[in-house]
Each structure stands twice: as C-alpha cells, then as structure tokens.
Amino acid sequence: MAQYVKNEEFAEWRCDKCNCELELKKVVVSYLEGSFPVDLPVCKKCGQVFIPESLAIHKMLEIEQQMEDK
Amino acid sequence: MDQQKLRLLESYCIQEEAPACIAACPMHMDVRLLLRQLRDHDMDGAFKTYRKSIPFPSILSRICEEPCQKKCRLSEIGEGISIRALESFLFSRSNSSALPTMLPQKNKKVAFLGSGLDALAAAYDLRRKGYITKIYEPASSAGGFLKNVSETILPSQIIDDTCSLLIKMGIELNLSQHTTGSSALQIIDSGKFKIQDDEFICVYISGNLEINRIDQITRMTETSGIFGGTAAPESWIEQAADGRRAAISMDRYIQNVSMTASRSDEGSYETRLFTSLTSVPPSHTFIRNSQTIPDEDTAIQEAARCIQCTCMECAKGCEFIRHYEAYPRVYLRQVYNNVSICTGLRQKNNMINSCSVCGQCESVCPNKLNFHDVIRETRQTMVETKKMPPSAFDFALRDMIFSNSDAFMVAKSPEGHKVCSFVFFPGCQLSASNPAAVEKVYALLLEKFSDSTGLLLRCCGIIADWAGEKEKFQQARNELLQEVESLGNPELIVGCPGCMQTFRNFYPALKIRSLWTILDQMDIHSKQHETIQTFAIHDPCGARYQPEVQDAVRSLAKKIGIQLEELPLNRDQTSCCTYGGNAWNANRSLSDAAVDALAAENPHDYLTYCAMCRDFFLKRGKNAYHILDLFFDPERIISGKAMPRPDYSMRHENRSRLKKHLLKKYWSEEMNASAPYEKIKLFISEEVRSVLEERMILVEDLQQVLYQTLETGNRMVNAQTGHYLTHATPGHVTYWIEYLPKNDGYQIFTAYSHRMFIEEAN
C-alpha cells in the first residue's frame, strides 16, 4: 500500500468538527477507471480526510496524468 | 484516419526527401551528412560516409563529374559546394588499402567479361555479397576506358592499386584473355554459362557493343542471366551506378526474387524536397583548383558553406512543431499509432492536445499539408472513444459554459424593437479583457446604425470544437443560430477575428461583417494623426485568410498615428499565441515558450486585434495592445502603458459586469440574482492570487467550496496558525482552501486542487 504523506506533514492539523487528532489510515482513491488504496491522514473519529498541498500538486497530479494516458 | 489517408497525408510532407545533391548523385552518396561531418571536423566519419556509397574512392574522387555540385542549391545564388575536391581530400588522408567488410563466401559463381568501371563496380559489390567472382579481360591490364583518362588526372598506378585491392578481396582477375565479349560464352543446358572450364549462374558483359537491348531498370539483356554495362558511358559516376544496378539485379536473379521491385529511387532524379533560400546569403567556393587536393582548413571552410538542405517551413513559426523535434510526417504516424493503441500508455495524448489547430503549418507548407484538421479529427475520436484526458481542456470548456450561461449571455434587440438589422457580437474574450471598449463600441454602433443594432453576448462555440467535443459545439452553434433567428436574422458585427473565422467555417448562412472594417470606414479619427509611435503588428490566427480584416486594422492603426512593422510571418502565415486549439490549457510550458518565441521576433511593442493574443503577450512580459485599447485611449500610444491583464477570475467578473451595465443602460433591466455563493466575500493577496492563476483556480470555485462547507463544519484546523482547511468537489475537481474568517468575509492563504476522488468514510 502506497504511503505518500509523512507524519510531520499533518502533525499540526486536527479535525475541527470532532476536535480530534489525525492518523494514517487506508483510504481508497479513484480516478477514471482505476482505484487504489493509499495511507492518508484522517480524523480518528469521523474519518474526514486531509490531503496536504504538496501531495495534491505533485504526486497526485503525476498519477492523474499517467492515468489519463491509459 | 485510416492507413490510406495516413499514407496520402504523409506523402505531402517532403521533409524526408533527399536533398538535391543526393538525388542527383546516381550512387546517392549522403553528401549532406558527409559535409556536416567534415564541417564538424569528423574526418573519419565523413570518409566512412563516402566509402559507404562509393566503391572506388581513389578513382571516383578524381574523375566524378559532380552532378551533386551542379544541383547544389547554393549554385542558384552563388556557387555550389565543390564536393569532389572534398572527397579527394578525405581520400588523401584515409587508409586506401583497407578491405571492405564482406559476407562469407557462397558457392555461387558470377563472371565478368571486360573490366570497365561498370564491371569493376558490379564485381566489387557481388564479391562483397560473397559470390565467387571472376573477371576475364582481353587486354593486358584492367580498367577499360578508364585507361584513356589523362595520366595527370588518373595515374595508371591508381587503377593498378584498385585492381590489387579487388584481388585481395578474392576476385579472380584474368588478363590477356584473347576472346571478345560474348563469343567467349557458351550457354549450357541447365541455363548456366560456361567460360573456359568454369560454369557461372550469371554473366556481366562490360560495355559490350553487341548488346542492343538492355532493360534499363534491371540491366539484364534479352538473354536471361546475361547482364550488361553501358556501351558509351555519359559519365563515370553513371557508369559505376550502372554496375551497381546490375549487381543488385544479378544478386536478385540468383536468389530468384523480383528484379524490378522497389527500384524507383535508383539513379539520378529530381527531388521533391523544398528548401527556402530566402535568408541564405550567396557564397562562393573556397576551392580554387578542383584538380588539386585542398588543405584541411579549406576543406572544412568549403564544407561549412553547406546549408544542410531541409524543408521545415512549418517549424519556422510554430513552437509546437519545434518542441517535439520532428515534423508533420513523423507526427502523423505518431497520431495514428496513438489512436490505434489498444493497451499501454497513449504517450502522444499531450502532443495531440498541444497543437493550436491554427492552420499556420498548412499556410506555409509547400504542399499545403492540412495537419490541423488531423489533430481536430483525432481529438474528436478521442472524445468519442472516451480516451480524451479529462484535464486537457476542462478549464477552457468551463469558460465556454460560463460565457453561454446567464452570467454573460445576452441576445437582445434595441429597446422598443422586436428585431434588428445588425447585432454586435464582441466575442467572449474581448468582453473579458476590455469590457469598457465593448461598451464604447456598442455606443458607437448605435449611433452609426440609428439604434438598429442589437447585442449578442456569448461564445461562438469554437472552444468545444478545439476540444474535440462535437456535440457540445453543435449545441452551442444551434443555440447561437436560434438567438440570431429570434433577433430577426440581423447581420453580425463581429469584434473577434477568431469568431469571424468560426462563423465563416461553420455558420455559412450567417451574415457577418468585421468590426474593424466598420470602424475603419467610420472615420472617427478622420484627421490622420502624425505618426507618433512604431509598433509591430501581430495578426491573430483567427484573421488568417481574412485580408479585409488584416487591411482594415492596418489602416485604422495608421489613422491613429501608429507606424507598423511586420513580423517575419504575418497575415495568412501568422503564428498563433496558443489560445488557439486550447493549447494553453493542455500544455502551459509549451504555450509560454511559444509566446516567448513570438514576442522575441520584434523589439517593438506589439499591436494586435485579438484579446487573447494581447493578454498572452502581457502575461509573458511583452508590452502589447489590442487596437481598441488605443482606438479609445490614444494617450496610451504615447505613454507606452499597456492595459492591465485580467486574471482568469477577473475575466469572469468583467463579463458579468459588462452584461449588468449594458442591460441597465440600454434596457433598464437588472441582471438575474446571482448565485448565493457569490455573496461570500474573499480577501486574497496578490501573491495568493497568482498562485490561484497558476493552478487555474477561480475565485468562484473558492466561493462555492466555502458555501458548501461552512454550514457542515467539516474542516481541519492548524494548531500553530489557527488556519482552517476545508474541501469540496463542486464539479469534477476537488478544491482545498486554507482560510481564516476576516471581517465580513474570509482571508485565503492558499488553495489547491486534484481530480482524484477520495472515498471518505462520511
């Protein structure tokens, strides 16, 4: 299972709704005809996901572009 | 595009055709490569190139008639390259006794009667292919007519040395064989030939006088298995080429395969390659005496005169063609393969989507290859087969949806009229870039046409066509036609050259007129200003093949005191700013490079008449004006101050405000209430705004996300900064916003997006 987010990238963030810390957990991400599990920070209580900026603008963009060419 | 169409289109692109020198050489020696290698001081490489095509460098570098030089394109404007002198230079510093590479010997024999240059060349080729090769020469030395060449030009020692080399290769050279030509031959029952006690599969008769009929393609005589040379050679190089042609046939004859297949490119021919000499200065040869061997410096100087003939006309103004480092013939094949692929990556998607579809390549192509329609059709196929990358043109298509929504769309006759004779169609991007100019033009038109001019604000639909979205284009087209009909089918006064072109190509029934022609005829600046400033004029790609528009703008510019300089490619051959084809959306780095290259063509500020051209130049730091910027504000001509370039969000806002103003001013109408999310007030610094621009995130995207999430309370909070982070997916894209409440709105610290879908627990 791919893990793209380091602990220090979400250590300062908490879920505001649940006032709860985040933990890395398996989350399914999908695009076009593909989906795969990734370890992402989520609220321990409600499961709200946190995508850091660097993940979105680098790795996720790269994977999106690869999948668009399949 | 099927295979047949692919081949036809490929044949229009002549970039791979041989240059004139190679086509003229009957041996097709790669003169262009040899000269490049010599120019680059690669002497060994250059000699290898020579040796690869020429069997006897020592002889031919002395006596070749140089058909290549006569056909050299430089001879049209000065003197052609003295190629033979360079060959003799290369030969002089080579190891002339080196044996060529040879295939293992076959147990098959071929005979040669006579030893003229043609026979020696054929024997050399067949020996290299492994045949047992025997020459029978009546004279006491080999060479035939070669021996008649003056000793100063071709010393007999050179011929002797060549014969020694042939013997070293294993060719049996029988001299003083007192038989004349074919009388020495006996045809035996098996169809083979007998000479003395040896049997041969086929025989070559050098320059034989008894041969009346030789097939010019195969060089076989009427007698199967007997081949022949040239009785009265016109040139030495032709003679060597005849020998080579015969050797190919003899090899095929022995292998029992077609002797006539694929032979059209043998011998001298006229090339189809086009090479422009427009910017080539005339030059003269450095070789003063063609019979002496030049020194190294002179040889290199002479080789450096070569212009390395090539076509590449289409690359001159097109960054797309330059960027992928090939030419349409290659791109056609890549496009075809990309569409045909069943599994694996479609590696050319981005290439296909990076073309501006502007038609420049066709306009400059010597054969008028229409590559842009191939790209258009390919994009349509990609959309139909659901293989179009969703991100490629999404942003551009959303802009079109915006233009054709209530936020901008207007179709109105003047107040008090059901129908109108004229309707002003400024185009979506002029309205986005300079809404004030659109208002002023409309006021002018009402004045000129006595209040009979209506207003039509929307997108012409070309964005969808560029994106390969046939259905979306048809829908936009149909809506526009219905609106025009509802206004009583007025004539459209069009303020965008791209829309003009779209209407001409796809709306043949519409009556259209260019705004520029009307403005030019209005004589607003009737008293011609003195020339106060020089600009370079950039014709938008939409104005291609619209000379009346190109002329009207030039005339208008002159009237407001502007002197114009022309760019290297202008009018029908003009380059696109990459707004065309939505290329800027699919490939931003290529778009920037294209604009930079175009901007560097002239040091003056640019004057154009397409809003997007202006804004793309401004974005890359080139001062540029739309002619309306100056028409209504001539002060700018002197101040040199360009109008500010609106960012993507501002382009939306400008259009909506324009609609609001015009509705109120001319129809006393209020615009429909805006969407509730638009009331959310945002504070965004310039720095963050440029990040949003780079990431193609609009202010209204942020407003929609905040509107959706503020009530749910779904957000993260940063323990250090106190900033909130929230996200939502209003359409196909998920946006993340880092913000803090501020006064009556929200301050934005950053925003980013992705298209991947996150399957969240809640």
pLDDT digits (tens, 9 = 90+) for B328-365: 999 999 999 998 887 778 889 999 999 999 999 999 99
Spatial distance between the Cα atoms of B458 and B464, rounded to a whole number of angstroms = 13
Please return the burial class of B113, using the count of CB atoms within 10 Å of its CB with bins 0-12, 13-18 and 19+: buried
Binned at pLDDT 50, 70 and 90, residue B695 comes out as very high
Spatial distance between the Cα atoms of B542 and B560, rounded to a whole number of angstroms = 23
Cβ-based contacts of A47 with chain B (< 8 Å): 760-762
Spatial distance between the Cα atoms of B150 and B760, rounded to a whole number of angstroms = 93
Taking each helix axis from N to C end, the angle separating B31-39 and B296-304, rounded to the nearest 10 degrees, works out to 120
For B390-411, b where at least 16 C-beta lie within 10 A, e where not — what string? ebbbbbbbbbbebbbeebbbbb
Question: In this predicted structure, what is the pLDDT of residue B14?
Answer: 97
Residue B236 reports pLDDT greater than 70: yes
Residue B688 in contact with residue B673, Cβ under 8 Å?
A: no
3-state SS of B646-705 is CCHHHHHHHHHHHHHHHHHHHHCCCCCCCCHHHHCCEEECHHHHHHHHHCCCCHHHHHHH
Mean pLDDT across B166-173: 96
Question: In this predicted structure, what is the pLDDT of residue B186?
Answer: 81
Question: In this predicted structure, what is the pLDDT of residue B179?
Answer: 61
Residue B526 reports pLDDT greater than 60: no
A46/B762 touch (CB, cutoff 8 Å), yes or no: yes
Mean pLDDT across A26-48: 93
State whether residue A23 sits within 8 Å of chain B by CB. Answer: no
* Of the partner residues A17, A28, A57, the one whose CB lies closest to the CB of residue B759: A28
Task: Indicate the helix (H) or strand (E) that contains B607.
Answer: strand B606-608
Binned at pLDDT 50, 70 and 90, residue A4 comes out as confident
| ipTM of this predicted structure | 0.98
A60/B754 touch (CB, cutoff 8 Å), yes or no: yes
B760/A49 touch (CB, cutoff 8 Å), yes or no: yes
Q: Which of B518, B539, B514, B524 is nearest to B426 (CA)?
A: B514
Binned at pLDDT 50, 70 and 90, residue B208 comes out as low
pLDDT digits (tens, 9 = 90+) for B627-660: 999 999 888 988 889 999 999 999 999 999 999 9
Question: In this predicted structure, what is the pLDDT of residue B647?
Answer: 96
Residue B218 in contact with residue B250, Cβ under 8 Å?
A: no
Mean pLDDT across B27-51: 97
Question: In this predicted structure, what is the pLDDT of residue B294?
Answer: 95
Fold of B677-754: YaeB-like fold (3.30.2310)
Please give the residue that has the higher pLDDT: either B289 or B5.
B5
Spatial distance between the Cα atoms of B390 and B6, rounded to a whole number of angstroms = 27
Residue A67, min C-alpha distance to chain B (Å): 9
pLDDT digits (tens, 9 = 90+) for B414-434: 988 999 999 999 999 999 999
Three-state DSSP at B573 gives helix
Question: In this predicted structure, what is the pLDDT of residue B342?
Answer: 76
Three-state DSSP at B734 gives strand
Architecture per CATH, domain B526-646, reads as: Up-down Bundle (1.20)
Cβ-based contacts of A35 with chain B (< 8 Å): 759
User: How many residue pairs from chains A and B have C-beta atoms closer than 8 A?
Assistant: 94
Mean of the per-residue pLDDT values of chain B: 93
Spatial distance between the Cα atoms of B396 and B407, rounded to a whole number of angstroms = 16
Please give the residue that has the higher pLDDT: either B603 or B215.
B603
Mean pLDDT across B272-291: 93
Q: Scanning the structure block, which residue is given the tokens 């409309």?
A: B442
Residue of A nearest to B726 (CA): A50
Spell out the CATH class of B109-255.
Answer: alpha beta
A56/B714 touch (CB, cutoff 8 Å), yes or no: no
Alpha helices in B202-288 (DSSP H): 236-255
* Of the partner residues B389, B720, B753, the one whose CB lies closest to the CB of residue A68: B389
Mean of the per-residue pLDDT values of chain A: 92
Residue B612, min C-alpha distance to chain A (Å): 27
Spatial distance between the Cα atoms of B529 and B518, rounded to a whole number of angstroms = 19
Cβ-based contacts of B760 with chain A (< 8 Å): 27, 42, 47-49
Spatial distance between the Cα atoms of B196 and B507, rounded to a whole number of angstroms = 83
Mean pLDDT across B281-309: 94
Residue B147 in contact with residue B162, Cβ under 8 Å?
A: no
Question: In this predicted structure, what is the pLDDT of residue B573?
Answer: 98
Question: In this predicted structure, what is the pLDDT of residue B190?
Answer: 74
State whether residue B107 sits within 8 Å of chain A by CB. Answer: no
Query: Can you state the percent helix, strand and coil of chain A, rounding each to 5?
Result: 25, 40, 35
Per-domain boundaries in chain B: 18-96+291-304, 109-255, 313-384, 526-646, 677-754
Share of chain B above pLDDT 90, in %: 84
Please return the burial class of B207, using the count of CB atoms within 10 Å of its CB with bins 0-12, 13-18 and 19+: buried
Query: Can you state the percent helix, strand and coil of chain B, rounding each to 5?
Result: 45, 15, 40
A64/B345 touch (CB, cutoff 8 Å), yes or no: no
Mean pLDDT across B56-77: 95
pLDDT digits (tens, 9 = 90+) for B379-411: 999 999 999 999 999 999 999 999 999 999 999
Spatial distance between the Cα atoms of B89 and B100, rounded to a whole number of angstroms = 20
Residue A14, min C-alpha distance to chain B (Å): 5
Poorest-pLDDT segment among B9-13, B210-214, B508-512, B707-711? B210-214
Binned at pLDDT 50, 70 and 90, residue B180 comes out as low
Question: In this predicted structure, what is the pLDDT of residue B197?
Answer: 83
Residue B762 reports pLDDT greater than 60: no
Binned at pLDDT 50, 70 and 90, residue B212 comes out as low
Residue A16, min C-alpha distance to chain B (Å): 5
Cβ-based contacts of B379 with chain A (< 8 Å): none
* Domain annotation for chain A: domains and CATH numbers: 2-68 (3.10.20)
State whether residue B714 sits within 8 Å of chain A by CB. Answer: yes
**A59: which DSSP letter?**
I
State whether residue A33 sits within 8 Å of chain B by CB. Answer: no
Interface test with A, best of B334, B697, B750, B754 (most A CBs within 10 A): B754
Q: Which residues between 38 and 67 in chain A have a beta carbon less than 8 angstroms from any beta carbon of chain B?
A: 40, 42, 46-51, 53, 56-57, 60-61, 63-66
Q: Which of B458, B540, B523, B541 is nearest to B492 (CA)?
A: B458
pLDDT digits (tens, 9 = 90+) for B487-501: 999 999 999 999 999
Residue B199 in contact with residue B109, Cβ under 8 Å?
A: yes
